[in-house]
Structure 1
Amino acid sequence: MKSLKGPTDHVVVVGAGLSGLATTLHLLGAQRRVTVIERDALPGGRAGRFEMGGYRVDTGPTVMTMPEFADEAFAAVGDSLAGRVEMIELHPAYRARFADGSSLDVHTDAGAMEEEIRRFAGDREAAGYQRLRSWLTDLYAAQMRRFIDTNFDSPLQLLHPDLARLARLRGFGRMDPQIGRFVSDERLRRVFSFQALYAGVPPERALAAYAVIAYMDTVAGVYFPRGGMHALPRAMADSSREAGADFRWNTEVTRLEQSGSRITAVHTSNGERIACDAVVLTPDLPVVYRLLGRSPRRAVALRHSPSAVILHAGTDRTWPELAHHTISFGAAWKSTFQEITVKGEVMRDPSLLITRPTTHDPSLAPDGKHLHYILAPCPNTDIGPGAREWKDLSPRYRDSLVTELERRGLDGLGSAIEEECLVTPADWTAQGHAAGTPFSAAHTFAQTGPFRPRNLLRGIDNAVIAGCGTTPGVGVPTVLISGKLAAARITGATGSARRKPTHHDSAVLPRDGSVKGMAP
């Protein structure tokens, strides 16, 4: 593995999102001095927080999988996730509701899920699920060490026995047909393939290897931190500060001072010049390249993932048919992906993610109130409406979402909303996200692994990139890994001391509601 040349005693990390915080913890554990510069007043980046009339709203991720990667970052400084955050394992992980009126609770426990599928679709599909679960587990095992949790210096690193193992698992086929080998019910195929949209690719076009995301969602477990998803970056920042990191909040990096092939200092909006030995850059790639004063060297421009419209709604009531996470599928399926990835149109018959964080933490809303997060995938601004068009489209689209959800059973949603905030691609653009999407570059084959923008920069000896735009990619677990990989480029560390946390380690809330493993 290539690592940075020259001294790396003092590192400036630009951005206190999840990748920047993970980098910081791993660097502190390797005895580096770290200064973190963050333009906002609080940590988290996409996993931020805002207040809305007494509601505490997470701005980004609503679900956490693979908590061991967060625990690994804390462990670098002798801390632990369990000592900082109470993690609640969700049962069910999701509830899927379909246009025909049927519903399915998605459990990560194998026995519970088999019984639920037997009730939902019969014995044959239940048996197929067990084979699917085994295949997903094998896919994860084949990919994690060699293709996800690794720094690539060359595509030749792909030439490893694990590549043949992945091929034997049909990881280079298409996701939807491969899942169809195990379950034939179209509704079940949706449940185990919709995750491809996280990677920015429709299930019928996505490589089956990306079903590893379905492994994380449906096998490894889905968690919710007490206090909302923002509790995770807040805890990581606290741990970093106590371990010696110096944070500069409400501060923007305006310029990188360079001498030859090295960045020698970072200049900020406060007029400060911070000398450094190395820099980790975690903003979106366009911001990184602007700071570097260069353009990316790619033969073909990056293709970006679809975007999303999010309606944050504080309500005076809720609906018992909703779980913590509910996926409301429309009748249409393949045509919706065509609309948002090819035609550049909003979905006519949308599939929606509805999250109710007050299910497990009522303190996120005023007494007796409820918080709902409604996410509708939509085209990015490269192929769909631009930021200016969204300013006109937003009110109509918001009303159409509310009307559609009322039609699907959330009676009185519109009149129940007391506080709300609508986020559209116009807002993502204003935050500096390329193509108006918070999901960065799509995970096409040409933008994955060694073909994704590297975390090392040609011509600069002491800068590293971290975040969802570089390896390994989009998602909470992967950006945490990205931070670790960036730190390894600086420290030269190889391998991992990761251990899979037990339920005790992760302070998981078991099904009887009692809390185990909480630090005093």
Structure 2
Amino acid sequence: MMTHAVLPSDLTDAPARRPHAVVIGAGFGGLAAAVRLGARGYRVTVFDRLDGPGGRGSVWRQDGFTFDMGPTIVTAPFLFEELWELCGRKLSDDIELKALEPFYTVRFDDGETFSAYSDPEKMRQEVARFNPDDVAGYDRYMKEAQACFETGFEGMVDKPFCRLFNMVEALPDLIRRRADRSVYGLCAKYVKDERLRVALSFHPLFIGGSPFRVSAVFSLISYLERHWGVHYAMGGTGALAKGIAGLIEGQGNVVRYNTDVAEIVVEDGKAAGVKLADGEIVAADVVVSNADAAWTYSKLVPPNHRTRWTDAKLDRMAYSMSLFIWYFGTDRKYDDVGHHTILMGPRYRGLIKDIFKNKVLADDFSLYLHRPSATDPSVAPDGCDAFYVLSPVPNLDADIDWTTTAEVLRKRIADKLEATVLPDLSRHIVSSKMITPLDFRDRLLSVKGAAFGMEPTLFQIAWFRPHNVSEELENLYIVGAGTHPGAGLPGVLASARILDKLVPNAVA
């Protein structure tokens, strides 16, 4: 349900008399929450410790290249469109979204490729190339993915799960969808070719989960891609973050960068504002945290005000994997490489187990290669290409010294890319930057360096996650990857949408 937009001209009271909302973190969840609160009459101040908007979706510029540091695709554009509509504008006024075809190409270790398309018939043709007998099974799998989409996305994504009764209400649908089964298990029920199982079941990695542990309900991602397509924001995902920050400022509200929040101020069991690292106290009627949920409770809420999300409870939770990401630019173009390529290693199940359970850095890896300059020449100098390559790795529960391991892993990845899809890569690199799990911990304040917060296993989704309205303090709300519905751009934007049902209106 859309919230009625309250434009600046509608606000006749002096700004200082309007209720004040403080948002901690200018990631996509925090930015979206600020727009929605501003549209409902709140005076909003957003604080972020980084020097620009986006959080995990921020931007790095270097040597004439523009690198999106985190998410690279848009799969539910309407969630962005709503934010612009709340401000009396259109998304297309500021942002050009370009549909990608194919969405991505999966390259197996033997060199065979599988491309994902929006056209169901093209997908059937891709499946038939591997195993004609699996076409009918693929159709049945997608029918089940659609049912999971209707249950898990349309039915749950913007519904608050703040009471156990909310979970009980959802149980019949979850049982019908066999939520106890994994995404891989659901796929394997219908598809027999192992390579197809891999190509159709890896999607939980996009939200920080193991395909062998994440609930089958998350097969909805496959249908979500088909339903709305996969899009790229021209100028990069960072252009979307900058655009939303502009909406906030257009509402007459404020985003303060390079500002650390040290603590949530509590008065009479209610969040009453925040204390900044420099000692400044900022009073608020509503506090929304877009910081990592585990960080919010372990570092920002005083311990004497926590009963459920204690340190012991937080430590028992299962956290997502982390990421090693290498951003690099080349002084030549690789025109035969698409916008998104997924390079599968020689193992699938074993590698996932090493990352999530064994917590070791394996000798092999699978890679996600992003070449935005295939679509958007503006992100690289003329005649050059911008890339990032991502490898899922264990979070900081693993005993890995990233200060010495990072360059070793980067070189191994570069060698693999050079031997497969980027010939002569080593001679053409002109810009380079790496981030490791240490950056997720120290720069993004993510507990255990987990790239996606808590892993979305069956007993860590919906009611089992930190709630959108805090269980510990009145007037404290949580948005972002660590709360319901979870990680990924659709999830974090939907977490802000949920606030419309929880936070009282500031303007009648």
- Tell me the TM-score normalized by structure 2: 0.90
Unmatched tracts of structure 2, length 5 or more: 1-16
CA–CA separation in structure 2 for the residues paired with 1:8 and 1:478: 29
1:394 aligns with 2:406: yes
Match of 1:415? 427
* Contact map agreement 2:180 2:458 (CA 8 A) in 1: no
Tell me, what secondary structure is at the counterpart of 1:159?
Answer: helix
Query: Which residues of 2 match residues 481-496 of structure 1 at below 5 A?
Result: 481-491=494-504
CA–CA separation in structure 2 for the residues paired with 1:313 and 1:163: 46
Which letter does structure 1 place at the counterpart of 2:464? F
Which letter does structure 2 place at the counterpart of 1:291? L
1:258 aligns with 2:266: yes
1:133 aligns with 2:148: no
CA–CA separation in structure 2 for the residues paired with 1:164 and 1:461: 31
Match of 2:490? 477
Could you say if the C-alpha distance between residues 82 and 261 of structure 1 is closer, same or farther in structure 2, counting changes exceeding 3 Å? Answer: same
Match of 2:192? 184
* Contact map agreement 1:133 1:219 (CA 8 A) in 2: no
Match of 2:346? 331
Task: Give CA-to-partner distance per residue, 1:225-253, whole Å, 9 cap, x none.
Answer: 00001111111111121122122222222
CA–CA separation in structure 1 for the residues paired with 2:263 and 2:146: 45
* Contact map agreement 1:15 1:36 (CA 8 A) in 2: yes
Could you say if the C-alpha distance between residues 256 and 331 of structure 1 is closer, same or farther in structure 2, counting changes exceeding 3 Å? Answer: closer
* Contact map agreement 2:332 2:384 (CA 8 A) in 1: yes
State the Cα distance separating 1:216 from its structure 2 match: 2.6
* Contact map agreement 2:179 2:458 (CA 8 A) in 1: no
1:203 aligns with 2:216: no
Match of 1:156? 165
State the Cα distance separating 1:393 from its structure 2 match: 0.9
CA–CA separation in structure 2 for the residues paired with 1:444 and 1:165: 17
Which letter does structure 1 place at the counterpart of 2:478? I
CA–CA separation in structure 2 for the residues paired with 1:425 and 1:216: 29
Task: Give CA-to-partner distance per residue, 1:114-134, whole Å, 9 cap, x none.
Answer: 23333x224332333222222
Match of 1:306? 321
Match of 2:388? 373
CA–CA separation in structure 1 for the residues paired with 2:396 and 2:90: 40
State the Cα distance separating 1:487 from its structure 2 match: 4.4
State the Cα distance separating 1:170 from its structure 2 match: 2.9
Match of 1:322? 337
Cα RMSD (Å) of the superposition? 2.1
CA–CA separation in structure 1 for the residues paired with 2:141 and 2:192: 11
Deviates more, 1:248-257 or 1:351-360: 248-257
Match of 1:71? 81
Q: 4+ residue runs of structure 1 moved beyond 6 angstroms?
A: none
Residue identity (%):
31
1:98 is matched with which residue: 102, 108, 112? 108
2:473 is matched with which residue: 445, 451, 460? 460
* Contact map agreement 1:342 1:383 (CA 8 A) in 2: no
State how many pairs are aligned: 482
* Contact map agreement 2:321 2:452 (CA 8 A) in 1: yes
* Contact map agreement 2:367 2:389 (CA 8 A) in 1: yes
CA–CA separation in structure 2 for the residues paired with 1:195 and 1:188: 13
Query: Which residues of 2 match residues 338-349 of structure 1 at below 5 A?
Result: 338-349=353-364
CA–CA separation in structure 1 for the residues paired with 2:472 and 2:206: 32
State the Cα distance separating 1:271 from its structure 2 match: 5.2
Match of 1:499? none
* Contact map agreement 1:307 1:379 (CA 8 A) in 2: yes
1:53 is matched with which residue: 37, 45, 63? 63
CA–CA separation in structure 2 for the residues paired with 1:281 and 1:42: 17
Which letter does structure 2 place at the counterpart of 1:9? P
- Tell me the TM-score normalized by structure 1: 0.88
State the Cα distance separating 1:413 from its structure 2 match: 1.4
Which letter does structure 1 place at the counterpart of 2:461? T
Task: Give CA-to-partner distance per residue, 1:47-93, whole Å, 9 cap, x none.
Answer: 10111111111111111211111222222232332222100010000
State the Cα distance separating 1:269 from its structure 2 match: 4.1
* Contact map agreement 2:324 2:435 (CA 8 A) in 1: yes
Deviates more, 1:262-271 or 1:431-440: 262-271
* Contact map agreement 2:337 2:421 (CA 8 A) in 1: no
Match of 1:44? 54
Greater helix content? 2
1:436 aligns with 2:449: yes
